Amino acid sequence: MKMLTNIWRLILFGFLCTVFLSMEPMRTGAIKLHQTQPTERISGSAGDVLDDDPVGRLKVFVYELPSKYNKKILQKDQRCLTHMFAAEIFMHRFLLSSAVRTLNPEEADWFYTPVYTTCDLTPNGLPLPFKSPRMMRSAIQLISSNWPYWNRSEGADHFFLVPHDFGACFHYQEEKAIERGILPLLQRATLFQTFGQRNHVCLKEGSITIPPYAPPQKMQAHLIDEKTPRSIFVYFRGLFYDVGNDPEGGYYARGARAAVWENFKDNPLFDVSTEHPTTYYEDMQRAIFCLCPLGWAPWSPRLVEAVIFGCIPVIIADDIVLPFADAIPWEEIGVFVDEKDVPNLDTILTSIPVEVILRKQRLLANPSMKQAMLFPQPAQPGDAFHQVLNGLARKLPHDRSTVYLKPGQKILNWTAGPIGDLKPW
Amino acid sequence: MKLSALHQSYLNRRSSNFRGLSGDSSADGSMKSQASVFWLVLHGLCCLVSLVLGFRFSRLVFFLLFSPSTTTNLYSMPFRQAVEASVFQLSTEAANQVLPVNTTTPRVVVGRHGIRIRPWPHPDPVEVMKAHRIIERVQREQRAQFGVKAPRTLIAVTPTYVRTFQTLHMTGVMHSLMLVPYDLVWIVVEAGGVTNETTSLIAKSGLRNIHVGFNERMPNSWADRHRLEAKMRLHALKIIREEKLDGIVIFVDDSNMHSMELFDEIQNVKWIGALSVGILAHSNSAEESSFSLAWKEADNSVIPVQGPACNSSNRLIGWHTFNSLPFLEKSATHIDDRGIILPRKLEWAGFVLNSRLLWKDFTDKPMWMKDLDLFDGVDDMESPLLLLNDASVVEPLGRCGLQVMIWWLRVEARSDSKFPPGWVIDPPLEITVPSKHTQWPDAPPELPMSDKIVDAQGETLAVKRPGKTRRSRSKHDARNKRKHESRNAEVDISEKQTKQN
């Protein structure tokens, strides 16, 4: 009898604790960690989830594809490991040795297909997407014929990494990408991509945006003393006019980068130029604001670099969806400027109250924030790999009625899309 | 260059896969007659503009004119010139209607957009000031987080006296102290009593200071000077004891050079610390460093440094002192001597103390600290180490003496050098050289009698020694040289006059 009352007391205590510790959305509290800099906890719309551990919350089955889909492509060009699309390769490697991997597909919640679609590089290092749809299609044909799990749900419990410019639209030109739309076979799958823009064809409901790959060791090697005073107000290095493809401007970056140049090239507060200095990373650590304008696509590794180096990102890309948007409250961390407001950028930035700027810097200093943007080798807790798994875990449990098809039901059209895509790879 | 760029772009478009030329790809629209008239007018306008500017406008105009695609009537003309005056732009947007898969039409459209340039694309000074304030605040926050926590007040002790180079030296020290980001008390002990000159000099700094006089005149020989300076410093320490000032005592000699990192580093001291001092022993002689020659003779290749010496576990084991033996023959004994001015074995400047060590009734005072009263009559205190019973308690600072943040230097003018008090010439001197504006322009100029030349308004002009001018007709023989010099002096002075007038 006494034991029973004790148990009830324990349960009551536990319940009260969970009630008090549950967080409301978008709340950040200041705590002093044991580092030298006070930081603030970060919680986005999904709650304080950056530090969640996905192990035990989901199981992932990795399909064994023939090496022509992954290893052989990588062997042809090793640059795929260092360019900004390398996340697809590192994700594969991470999953192969991760604790969430299961070898029994019956108990798996998610299925991963390791196909490196962004590894066909030009001599300059840019990936050509022309064969990617065929490659993806061929991979899906393979898994649907060798395993029953694709047909069971038509891909609704499968996920893919498509880090290319416009994600699963597989083209670098925006008009062509929009024309093609997302590959029809991937319409039910969960896509992880770097491209994110609201109300855009190439971002479908349920996709999760991930950061582009930035080499962690290289950035670590360029860290400078934190005591170095930040003396640059606004910093940017990159192209303003893409002289090769759009010499007069207007197409590239929707004219936003050109507007930045024309309005601020002689403003002493703006350190902007097209140079490629060797001290690029060090300079970012000496700057307060770092511009992250769109280019041919709205995303860029600049965001990751700015977060790592504690420089407040100024995002100039209308309707952009930033990485892990449900876990990270980007509105509180970065400054969003509409493209039409670019001529007033200096007014906007100087009129931000100083307390807000200091708070943003505190949020950026949070180590879990920096970890969430990186793909380190070997994987560390809280890094982008884990955020991907957390995102997958948040989508569980699968809604039985929509995910799993009734026997005989077919939704996907295997012959949709341009004719060129139907050729075998 | 612009033309060739356009030409190249034209060729590029023909040959390569031009990204984004959306002329053919999108939905059709009905070509209203209004639209065609508008295009005609626009075309004419563009031709006019091209005429004015002198080069052909964007050829893209023609591509888009002949394309059937444009549904909206708006078109943009980006202008990428350095023509500041006419930064002219039809700021509108071209839109090619996108095929919406979703029912919501996207706000962001693909296609050519205008490059928005505001009418005055230059910085606004008010905003620049705001930005600087933001930068200052951010840097302050950085210092608070990564710099020294709980910084202590610094108490700078400076012995000085009025002489030619006092302004030179004190200005340097003053500026260094004004830049220190911590609280500062500056104790200035002046030999020969308090004077107005020093007071006015110190007052310019705006620092909190305690200015006292010391009733002895500064002697002429360097050895005596060192002794007197030590006495003056002791006097200052007594003042600190009486006022019960709390902080870190640092010995700032007026002719030394201090780096800013020094003031950050000494915040780490607990009781008494020692730093490495670089010795810039300077020779008063005009010939090129007899010091360096003597130094080379002594087989050294580096500037001598005084300071703590440590073993590999960063514990103090001894001192690097200045060995003056090789230089004794060449050393200067008096101020006017043309020899090398040597420092002592260990200069006071390399030591910092916690001011609580000096307090009379400080309960936590360590046993190794002697009382100041013991040194009342002592003639020569070589270094603060004499204040300690046990010299091993000294903390080595600056990465155990590896960082040199102070440089010791003594430079003085001749003892009989005259300089105007406060470096202000008052009253103005008589005119000794006539200006060009005389009634008799052809009168030969008198030779300059004194170094200072004043024009009619009573302002002082810079002195121009004849030998330094180069504008002379350089063909000179020795006989005419003097005449040339005087004429040049006059030419220069008159030019200066005309510039002033």
Q: What are the pLDDT tens digits along chain B (501 aa)?
A: 444 444 444 444 443 343 433 333 333 444 557 888 888 898 888 888 888 877 666 555 554 555 444 333 333 333 333 333 333 333 333 333 333 344 456 677 888 888 999 998 888 999 999 999 999 999 989 988 887 788 899 999 999 998 889 999 999 999 999 999 889 999 999 998 899 989 999 999 999 999 999 998 888 888 888 889 999 999 999 999 999 999 999 999 989 999 998 998 999 899 999 999 998 876 555 554 555 566 555 555 567 888 888 888 878 888 888 777 766 666 777 766 677 777 878 888 999 999 988 888 777 788 888 888 887 777 777 888 888 888 888 888 888 888 899 999 888 887 778 888 778 887 777 766 766 665 666 666 666 555 444 444 444 444 444 444 444 444 444 455 555 454 554 545 545 545 544
Going by C-alpha positions, the residue among B158, B171, B177 that lies closest to residue B232 is B158
What is the C-alpha end-to-end distance of chain B, expressed in Å? Answer: 46
* Strand ranges inside B259-328, DSSP E: 272-274, 276-279, 305-310, 316-320
Q: Please, which pLDDT band fits residue A111 given cuts at 50, 70 and 90?
A: very high
Cα-trace Rg, chain B = 37
Which chain A residues touch B99 with a CB distance below 8 Å?
178-179
Answer whether residue B422 is part of any domain. no
Residue A43 contacts by C-beta under 8 Å, 6 or more apart in sequence? A23, A25, A26, A27, A28, A49, A50, A329
What values do phi and psi take at A47, rounded to 5? 100, -170
Task: State the pLDDT at residue A36.
Answer: 53
Nearest chain B residue to A286, by CA: B139
Q: Which helix (H) or strand (E) holds B405?
A: strand B404-408
Q: Is the bond into B427 cis (omega within 30 degrees of 0)?
A: yes
Question: Residue B91: CA atoms inside 13 Å, Cβ hemisphere, count?
Answer: 11
> Which of B108, B113, B115 to mutate: most A Cβ within 10 Å?
B115
Question: Residue B237: CA atoms inside 13 Å, Cβ hemisphere, count?
Answer: 29
Tokens, residue B84: 């500041």
Q: What is the CATH number of the domain that holds B229?
A: 3.90.550.10
Inter-chain CB proximity B107 and A200 less than 8 Å? no
Going by C-alpha positions, the residue among A4, A104, A38, A57 that lies closest to residue A391 is A57
Residue carrying the six token digits 């807000």: A356
Q: Please, which pLDDT band fits residue A41 given cuts at 50, 70 and 90?
A: confident
Q: Evaluate if residue A351 carries a pLDDT over 50.
A: yes
Answer whether residue B337 is part of any domain. yes
What is the rounded CA–CA span in Å between residue B277 and residue B267?
17
What values do phi and psi take at A168, rounded to 5? -80, 5
Q: Evaluate if residue A58 carries a pLDDT over 60.
A: yes
Q: Which helix (H) or strand (E) holds A11?
A: helix A2-21
What is the rounded CA–CA span in Å between residue B119 and residue B20?
29
Nearest chain B residue to A289, by CA: B135
What is the rounded CA–CA span in Å between residue A389 and residue A375?
13
What is the rounded CA–CA span in Å between residue B173 and residue B257?
7
Task: State the pLDDT at residue A357.
Answer: 95
**Of the partner residues A201, A288, A358, the one whose CB lies closest to the CB of residue B135:** A288
Residue B238 contacts by C-beta under 8 Å, 6 or more apart in sequence? B372
Inter-chain CB proximity A251 and B19 less than 8 Å? yes
List the Cα angle B209/B212/B215 in 5-degree steps: 160
Residue B298 contacts by C-beta under 8 Å, 6 or more apart in sequence? B323, B326
Cα-trace Rg, chain A = 23
Inter-chain CB proximity B118 and A230 less than 8 Å? no
Sign for the CA dihedral angle at B168, B173, B178, B179 comes to positive
Residue B496 contacts by C-beta under 8 Å, 6 or more apart in sequence? B461, B462, B464
CB A344 within 8 A of CB A284: no
> Which of A126, A166, A178, A345 to mutate: most B Cβ within 10 Å?
A178
Which chain B residues touch A226 with a CB distance below 8 Å?
142, 145-146
Q: Please, which pLDDT band fits residue A11 given cuts at 50, 70 and 90?
A: low
List the Cα angle A91/A92/A98 in 5-degree steps: 80
Q: Which helix (H) or strand (E) holds A60?
A: strand A60-62
**Cα dist from B83 to B80, B87, B406, whole Å:** 9, 6, 53
CB A54 within 8 A of CB A390: yes
Task: State the pLDDT at residue B400.
Answer: 84
Residue B91: exposed, middle, or buried by beta-carbon count in 10 A (0-12, 13-18, 19+)?
A: middle
What is the rounded CA–CA span in Å between residue B390 and residue B272?
12
Answer whether residue B26 is part of any domain. no
Q: Does A174 touch chain B (CB under 8 A)?
A: yes
Answer whether residue B282 is part of any domain. yes
Strand order in the sheet with A270-273: A270-273, A232-237, A287-293, A312-316, A335-336
Residue B183 contacts by C-beta under 8 Å, 6 or more apart in sequence? B151, B153, B154, B247
pLDDT tens, B349-404? Answer: 999 999 988 888 777 788 888 888 887 777 777 888 888 888 888 888 888 888 89
What is the rounded CA–CA span in Å between residue A316 and residue A313?
9
Answer whether residue B134 is part of any domain. no
Query: Number of helices (H) and strands (E), helices first, in chain B?
Result: 11, 12
**Of the partner residues A181, A241, A248, the one whose CB lies closest to the CB of residue B101:** A181
Helices (DSSP H) in A77-148: which residue ranges? 87-96, 132-146
Inter-chain CB proximity B60 and A245 less than 8 Å? no
Strand order in the sheet with A60-62: A60-62, A110-112, A158-161, A190-193, A208-209
What values do phi and psi take at A389, rounded to 5? -65, -35
Q: Does A178 touch chain B (CB under 8 A)?
A: yes
**Cα dist from B125 to B84, B122, B135, B138, B500, whole Å:** 20, 9, 15, 20, 31
Provide the b/e sequence for A296-313 (b: ≥16 CB within 10 Å): bbbbbbbbbbbbbbbbbb
**Of the partner residues B22, B25, B104, the one whose CB lies closest to the CB of residue A199:** B104
What values do phi and psi take at B40, rounded to 5? -60, -50
Q: Evaluate if residue A133 carries a pLDDT over 80.
A: yes
Q: Are strands B272-274 and B351-354 parallel, antiparallel or unpaired?
A: antiparallel
> Which of A251, A260, A345 to mutate: most B Cβ within 10 Å?
A251
Which chain B residues touch A244 with a CB distance below 8 Å?
12
Going by C-alpha positions, the residue among B98, B65, B55, B92 that lies closest to residue B77 is B92
Inter-chain CB proximity B99 and A268 less than 8 Å? no
> Which of A37, A354, A362 to mutate: most B Cβ within 10 Å?
A354
Residue B219 contacts by C-beta under 8 Å, 6 or more apart in sequence? B225, B228
Size of interface A-B (CB pairs under 8 A): 165
Beta bridge partners of A312: A289
Inter-chain CB proximity B121 and A343 less than 8 Å? yes
Q: Please, which pLDDT band fits residue A244 given cuts at 50, 70 and 90?
A: confident
Task: State the pLDDT at residue A408.
Answer: 78
Going by C-alpha positions, the residue among A103, A102, A94 that lies closest to residue A59 is A102
Nearest chain A residue to B57, by CA: A248
What is the rounded CA–CA span in Å between residue A13 and residue A7?
10
What is the rounded CA–CA span in Å between residue A115 and residue A139?
7
* Higher-pLDDT residue of B429, A120: A120
**Cα dist from A347 to A99, A260, A268, A343, B253, whole Å:** 50, 13, 14, 9, 47
Which chain A residues touch B10 with a CB distance below 8 Å?
none
Range of the domain at B213: 150-408
Answer whether residue B46 is part of any domain. no
DSSP A168-213: GG--SSHHHHHHH-S-GGGTTSEEEES--BTT-TTS-TT-EE-PPP
Q: Please, which pLDDT band fits residue A402 given cuts at 50, 70 and 90?
A: confident
Question: Residue B288: CA atoms inside 13 Å, Cβ hemisphere, count?
Answer: 0
> Which of A128, A172, A173 to mutate: most B Cβ within 10 Å?
A173
Answer whether residue B179 is part of any domain. yes
What is the rounded CA–CA span in Å between residue A387 and residue A379?
11
pLDDT tens, B457-479? Answer: 444 444 444 444 444 444 444 45
Answer whether residue B382 is part of any domain. yes
DSSP A362-401: HHHH-HHHHHHT---SS--TTSHHHHHHHHHHHTPSP-HH
Provide the b/e sequence for A188-211 (b: ≥16 CB within 10 Å): bbbbbbbbbbeebbbbbeebbbbb
Q: Which of residues 35-54 of A touch B (CB under 8 A)?
A: 36-38
Which chain B residues touch A249 with a CB distance below 8 Å?
78, 80, 115
SS3 content of chain B, % helix, strand, coil (to 5): 35, 15, 50
In chain B, the number of structural domains is 1
Inter-chain CB proximity B134 and A351 less than 8 Å? no
Task: State the pLDDT at residue B251.
Answer: 94
Tokens, residue A114: 């390791």
